[in-house]
Amino acid sequence: MNELTPPALVAFLGAVLICLLPQVRHNRVYLLHIFKAGALVGAIDLMVELIGTYSGGWTYHESSLFLFGTVPGELPLLFISSGIWLGAFHLLIRNSRQTAISLDRVLVSLTAMTLLIYLGSFTTAVPFRMIIFTLPFGLWGYSQFNEDRQKAFAIILASLTAIADWLIETWAVGRGSYNYAEGFTIETPLTYALLTLGFLGILELYSSEHLNLDRTL
């Protein structure tokens, strides 16, 4: 038994239990939905695994059964089962209209929690990157805009920020102005993009409460 077997078995047993739930078992639409989710996730993972293993991106050394000579058989079982879990949770989300939950509070709490984890990592031997808290922060900022047009402009600005950072830092690091301990990666521009969304959200929240910015500039 290798390390992939236990999580694959747990995911599979959980998927079987989900399929046996009365609410799912007796509803053909629900069953079809979660099976489609399982097939989708499993197929995409298999494709990624084949590309990654054949290109030399990574290698698996142990498995009870290798598919196509490179992909452990436990992985499709794990991801198909996980897809079934995902489909079931999607149904739960769709049917939770009566449940009172605040997206704002969820994202603010997640941002605060992950920021504390990031700051705490400086006192431990476990490294964490800034993206652990900039991701929920950026999502929170994005959620502050009500109109799709505003959200689109916010995404465009965040994307331009990431592109600008990538160009500037690639040039600066290449000239030896400074360097990162683990090298310059796409994570840095992505972090700045998420920070841009987060700060835009703060500005939007403030302007909605204290300023009248609805008139055309």
Cα angle 118, 151, 140 (rounded to 5 degrees) comes to 25
For the chain, domain boundaries: 5-94, 103-210
64 phi and psi, to 5 degrees?
-70, -30
For residue 39, the model assigns a pLDDT of: 93
Show pLDDT as tens, one digit a residue, over the chain (217 residues).
577 888 889 999 999 999 998 888 888 888 999 999 999 999 999 998 999 888 888 888 878 888 888 888 888 999 999 999 999 988 887 776 666 777 788 888 888 888 887 787 777 666 667 888 888 999 999 998 888 888 888 899 899 998 998 888 888 778 776 567 667 778 888 889 999 999 999 888 877 665 554 544 4
Backbone angles phi, psi at 175, to 5 degrees: -85, -5
Q: Which residue has the tokens 């695994």?
A: 49
What spatial distance separates the first Cα and last Cα of the chain, rounded to whole Å? 65
Question: Would residue 205 be called left, alpha or beta, if left means φ above 0 and alpha means ψ between -120 and 50 degrees?
Answer: alpha
Contact between residue 73 and residue 67 where contact means Cβ atoms under 8 Å apart:
yes
CA 76 – CA 73 distance, rounded (Å) = 6
pTM over 0.85: no
For residue 216, what pLDDT is reported?
44
